[in-house]
Structures are given as C-alpha cells and as structure tokens.
C-alpha cells in the first residue's frame, strides 16, 4: 500500500461536489484523513469562490491508476476538460504526493508543483501532514508553509454546509 495526498477543489455547486468527492474517496479507499476545509477566491479568472481541502488515502493503485480513477470521479461530477486551466471547476482532484515518488512527464507531475505556489493547496496539506517531508524540497510541509510567504488571509476555514455572509 502507498500513501497518497490529494488536493480537492470546486467552485460550482462546491459544497455538494466536495461532499460527494469526500464520500467517494471513503467508499473506494476506506479510511481517509481530511484537512480542514477552506474557502478561497478564484485565481486567474473572475468566478465564484472555491472550496479546497487535502486528503490522505492508502492505495494499492499505481499513480497512473489513481490518476485515472480520480479523472473518472471528476467526470462523474461534470468536469469539462475543454475549459481553460483557470476557469470554473465542478470538481478538481489532483495527486499532490504519492509516497516519496518523483514523476515528471506529460501525464503526471508528482510532487505537484502547486504545493509550493498556492496557499489553497499548501495550507490544507500542511494542516493534514505537518511533519511530512516534501520529496524533492526536503522540508516538512509545516516548514514550507511557515517559510512560504503565501498569504493565509486569502483562506477562510469553513465547515461544509456553513454558508457565508454573502448568502441570501
């Protein structure tokens, strides 16, 4: 079995899609661990806020098998792959880390570069696995977060079903 860390995000019917994805992960992989859930603004385009979190699973799948399973999960929830990279997402689930593997090809990037670039990816991962070392950087997720300079104020920790002040 391998430990994989995933990033989940949605900004289209986000609470429903994220809740469904969390249940699907539990049904497929059994016990999963989840980070706190965060609301953040869309990056790179004008759109609804995103809901993001990280998940840890144990799997006997290869990285490519897991990627394919996650793509099927996204597709079941209406993912449109013809849209630009920075656009609305019904469901986006990426493999951030897979054991200590390092894979960089056109089909798969592990560790995922977004870990070091975006607060909405790094902060949930650092919350979930603060002592986990990045396989190429060498620092722990907590250390990377504390030294990142990324703006934590762009993230609002929420509970699914909590809504927010802009709701009518």
Q: What is the DSSP letter of 114?
A: G
Domain ranges of the chain: 6-158
Tokens standing for residue 158: 């929420």
Q: Is the Cβ–Cβ distance between 91 and 73 less than 8 Å?
A: yes
* Topology (CATH) of 6-158: Alpha-Beta Plaits (3.30.70)
- Residues 141, 128: Cα–Cα separation, whole Å: 9
Question: For the residues of 53-101, what is the DSSP string, one character each?
Answer: EEEEEEESS-HHHHHHHHHHHHHHTT--TTS-SSS--S-EEEEEEETT-
Span 2-48, pLDDT tens digits = 999 999 999 999 999 999 999 999 999 998 999 999 999 988 888 89
Q: List average pLDDT for each run of 10 residues in the chain, which is 168 residues long.
A: 96 94 96 96 88 97 97 89 76 96 93 95 98 96 96 90 47
């Amino acid at each position: 079995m391998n430990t994989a860390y995933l990033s989940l995000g949605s900004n289209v019917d986000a609470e429903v899609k994220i809740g469904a994805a969390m249940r699907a992960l539990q049904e497929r992989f059994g016990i999963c661990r989840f980070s706190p859930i965060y609301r953040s603004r869309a990056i790179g385009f004008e759109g609804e806020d995103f809901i993001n979190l990280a998940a840890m699973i144990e799997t006997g799948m290869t990285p490519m098998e897991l990627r394919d399973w996650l793509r099927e999960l996204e597709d079941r929830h209406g993912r449109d792959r013809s849209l630009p990279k920075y656009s609305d997402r019904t469901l986006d689930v990426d493999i951030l880390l897979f054991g200590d593997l390092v894979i960089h090809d056109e089909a798969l990037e592990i560790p995922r570069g977004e870990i070091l670039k975006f607060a909405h990816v790094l902060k949930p991962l650092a919350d979930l696995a603060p002592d986990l070392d990045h396989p190429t950087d060498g620092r722990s997720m907590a250390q990377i977060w504390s030294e990142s300079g990324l703006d934590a104020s762009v993230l609002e920790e929420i509970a699914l079903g909590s809504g927010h002040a802009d709701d009518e």
